[in-house]
Structure 1
Amino acid sequence: MSHEGRFGQYGGSYIPEILHNSQQQLIAAYRSAMADETFVAELEWQLQHFSGRPTPLTFCPNLSKTLGGAQIYLKREDLNHSGAHKMTNVIGQGLLTKRMGKKRIIAETGAGQHGVASALIAARLGLECTVYMGAHDIERQYPNVFWMKQLGATVVSVESGSRTLRDALDEAMRDWAQNYQDTHYLIGTACGCEPYPEMVAGFQSVIGNEVKKQAAEQFGALPDKIYACVGGGSNACGIFLPFLDTDTELVGVEAGGIGDAPGEHAKRFHVADSKPGIAQGFASLFLQDDQGQLMETQSISAGLDYVSVSPILADLEAQGKVRMTSARDDEVLQAFRTLASNEGIIPALESSHAVAGALREAAALDPSQKIVINISGRGDKDIFNIAKAVKDTQFNEFLAGYLERETQA
């Protein structure tokens, strides 16, 4: 990272003047906290005793044998308390909120995992919590909305624009600008103005650091390849960054959606409509039309349909340190089924993109090679989407019958 939160040509701070003092306070608090042994010790204690870290590195004997190629391991971020890697970042930012003396957090969420994690840490630390979520994402991920509300959070449905994550982020930024004196904006991914990309990636780097230690203990070497899904980029940054000084190949898997036409996917790399731009407080790659307007996206996973990507990953890909690929919805569903039926592990649809990218390449590798797939979250939240996608008529009949019985009760 260079001066003022820049990563090559990306990053930086493009925010209203009204947020300048609050941003500077956050930068100073973050730098001070990470140099404070007491804060770091409290962070590590909460990660262990509240979230359940370290998460295991799990070998997949059945899948490895079936494919006949590389030995496959899973980094089990789905076993965090909130069901996803998001818990790691919100614990860090929640403790920072208390350190700054603020009483309220706001968050944006797509798949709902960050929203649930934010609500959890707010309840634990005695903070008020407001979560902004696109109306379309609420329809796709209502179980997570239900739990946010049970945890005491206020969930605001965002009806503007595409009614997805990018619009939720816009609304959260407006809230922060109006209420910055007592409110911390707890961004869930490695995007936004300085210091958010560095800070979120830093908190999430515990993932990669754990993999390094676990790989040494379990097979005496570093992985040959690591695969992670890429939406905004927090789980990918978390597992990739500790391996930048190694020979491990780092592979990001974006949402290929249903096709290659504009609006049919959420790929920010290697597509003509993705161009450098500035929006939502930072510079990165954005899917844009000829007039520079942000484009619609498409993905079966609510957590990967963001119109931009972390400036850290945009810079690393430009340097050739990370390889980006993608997986379409049908391939993702097949990968979900393959992992679930062979290993008894139910990955989130976001994580299933990483599984799809890895399974596509694993069979061609030598059996002596080891690959790690970051299972960034578990798939309980996706039951409605998956049932719809696989056309499970019995599930639909159950829901219809349940609603009818409740209406008559």
Structure 2
Amino acid sequence: MTMTTSYKQPNAQGYYGKFGGAYIPEMLHQNVEELRTRYLDIMYEAEFQKEFQQLLRDYVGRPTPLFLAERLSKEFGATIYLKREDLCHTGAHKINNTVGQILLAQRLGKKRIIAETGAGQHGVATATVCALKGMECIVYMGEKDIERQAPNVARMKMLGATVVPATSGSKTLKDATNEAIRDWINNPHDTHYIIGSVVGPHPYPDMVARFQSVISEEIRQQLKAKTGSELPTHVMACVGGGSNAAGAFYHFVDEPAVKIVAVEAAGHGVNTGMSAATTALGTPGILHGSKSLLMQTADGQVVEPHSISAGLDYPGIGPMHANLFDTHRGIFLSATDEQALAAAFHVAKTEGIIPALETAHAFAVIDQLKLSSTDVLVICLSGRGDKDLATYMNHM
């Protein structure tokens, strides 16, 4: 077994403990290898960092606030802060990564960008940075997700992107990812694939986590200013593939005093056959270029996931998170569709913030943490609920 020295970064082969690596068709070897050998050098050169930080500040609107949720704190008898990623340009954390990757693509000389999207937030964020930099943008999206996330589809088109429906399988995120990978195989030279989560072949999980790590970097600074300590007792985030969680956990995973809490989508219930709770149901396997935990049959066929939230409707989990689960470093909980809906309405009425359905899963399990008055919980509020209003209205 390949061990890592840190929970936040993989080893040279791209493994977090038992999970990670790059399992790719020969056709993609050149692309992935070019990325692997160059991403760190490009990301940490002074000129790149200068442009990246400037765009995060002036375009994305960072730092995002760390908000003390007074009424929720009172309700649960602890101090609860919300990291307001919903206030980023485009309405979610996804933009942190797309800004970083478009700058990387430019420096690699790529002219065409492809992406996959579930809830549409990553698609919007990719279309946004492509418009900003004048690049062609093709977004693959499951036909089912196109229906349930119509406002985001309209935004992508307005930003100049071509939205291509994935019509196979469950017609959701997994299928959109398959289509994007096919495109990349067919256009290896001029195309960069902006993966939206901490999934895919190495170096994607590490690269996306590094771009998103600005979330936990800011949390530490903001907590210090507010409480005198950089460390909360708990950091919590929802997990599908897991990019907002990776960003929120990044600068805390190597701090044993901080409890790491990941919340998955239980759908209709973990054992109903209509769920996306990967760590509860998954076994080690290979999906979309890396070894991780995934929901699969005994003979290795991927089991179709289900969640009311398009962004959590994925049958796998990023290798960084699989390692956190496998080593018991992270606490993995899940919330059903109904619990997430109830939590979304509750947070809206309690704090005046309408959260994305994804984030609502995290709010739904606060009571399971059994918090005490000395606990400080930071929840990554990964996105705003505008895109989910149709779903919310159906349940009013």
Q: Is 1:122–1:129's contact at 8 Å kept on the other side of the alignment?
A: yes
The match for 1:49 among 44, 54, 58 is 58
Distance 1:68 1:256, change over 3 A: closer
Letter in 1 for 2:142: G
What is the alpha-carbon distance in structure 1 between the residues aligned to residue 159 and residue 188 of structure 2? Answer: 23
The match for 1:23 among 8, 32, 37 is 32
TM-score, normalising length from structure 1? 0.92
Secondary structure at the residue paired with 1:258? strand
In structure 2, the residue matched to 1:255 is 265
State how many pairs are aligned.
385
The match for 1:154 among 162, 165, 186 is 162
What is the alpha-carbon distance in structure 2 between the residues aligned to residue 19 and residue 38 of structure 1? Answer: 29
In structure 1, the residue matched to 2:213 is 205
Letter in 2 for 1:254: E
Q: Is 1:358–1:373's contact at 8 Å kept on the other side of the alignment?
A: no
Q: CA deviation at 1:68?
A: 4.6
Letter in 2 for 1:386: Y
Answering whether residue 126 of structure 2 is matched by residue 118 of structure 1, we say yes
Distance 1:121 1:259, change over 3 A: same
Listed as ranges, the matches of 1:370-381 within 5 Å are 370-381=376-387
What is the alpha-carbon distance in structure 2 between the residues aligned to residue 171 and residue 178 of structure 1? Answer: 11
What is the alpha-carbon distance in structure 1 between the residues aligned to residue 121 and residue 318 of structure 2? Answer: 18
Is 215-224 or 24-33 further displaced after alignment?
Answer: 24-33
Deviation string, structure 1 residues 240-289 (Cα, Å, up to 9, x no partner): 02002221101000001112335311011133xx1100121111011011
Q: Is 1:227–1:357's contact at 8 Å kept on the other side of the alignment?
A: no
What is the alpha-carbon distance in structure 1 between the residues aligned to residue 197 and residue 186 of structure 2? Answer: 22
Q: CA deviation at 1:334?
A: 1.3
Q: Is 1:29–1:96's contact at 8 Å kept on the other side of the alignment?
A: no
Answering whether residue 275 of structure 2 is matched by residue 268 of structure 1, we say no
Letter in 2 for 1:111: A
In structure 2, the residue matched to 1:289 is 297
Is 252-261 or 26-35 further displaced after alignment?
Answer: 26-35
TM-score, normalising length from structure 2? 0.95
- Structure 2 gaps of 5+ residues are 1-9
- Structure 1 gaps of 5+ residues are 393-409
Secondary structure at the residue paired with 2:90? coil
In structure 2, the residue matched to 1:396 is none
What is the alpha-carbon distance in structure 2 between the residues aligned to residue 280 and residue 227 of structure 1? Answer: 26
Secondary structure at the residue paired with 1:62? helix
Letter in 2 for 1:374: C
Q: Is 2:76–2:367's contact at 8 Å kept on the other side of the alignment?
A: no
Q: Is 2:347–2:353's contact at 8 Å kept on the other side of the alignment?
A: yes
Is 76-85 or 367-376 further displaced after alignment?
Answer: 367-376
The match for 2:237 among 228, 233, 241 is 228
What is the alpha-carbon distance in structure 2 between the residues aligned to residue 224 and residue 149 of structure 1? Answer: 42
Secondary structure at the residue paired with 2:274? coil
Listed as ranges, the matches of 1:88-167 within 5 Å are 88-167=96-175
What is the alpha-carbon distance in structure 2 between the residues aligned to residue 359 and residue 321 of structure 1? Answer: 20
Q: CA deviation at 1:359?
A: 4.2
The match for 2:69 among 42, 46, 60 is 60
What is the alpha-carbon distance in structure 2 between the residues aligned to residue 45 and residue 260 of structure 1? Answer: 43
What is the alpha-carbon distance in structure 1 between the residues aligned to residue 309 and residue 139 of structure 2? Answer: 19
Q: CA deviation at 1:212?
A: 0.5
Over the residues paired in the alignment, what is the CA RMSD in angstroms?
A: 1.1
Letter in 1 for 2:375: Q
In structure 2, the residue matched to 1:400 is none
Secondary structure at the residue paired with 1:250? strand
Percent identity between matched residues is 50
The match for 1:194 among 202, 205, 210 is 202
What is the alpha-carbon distance in structure 1 between the residues aligned to residue 76 and residue 393 of structure 2? Answer: 30
Deviation string, structure 1 residues 124-163 (Cα, Å, up to 9, x no partner): 0111000000000111101100000000000001110000
Answering whether residue 19 of structure 2 is matched by residue 10 of structure 1, we say yes
What is the alpha-carbon distance in structure 2 between the residues aligned to residue 262 and residue 4 of structure 1? Answer: 37
Letter in 1 for 2:43: M
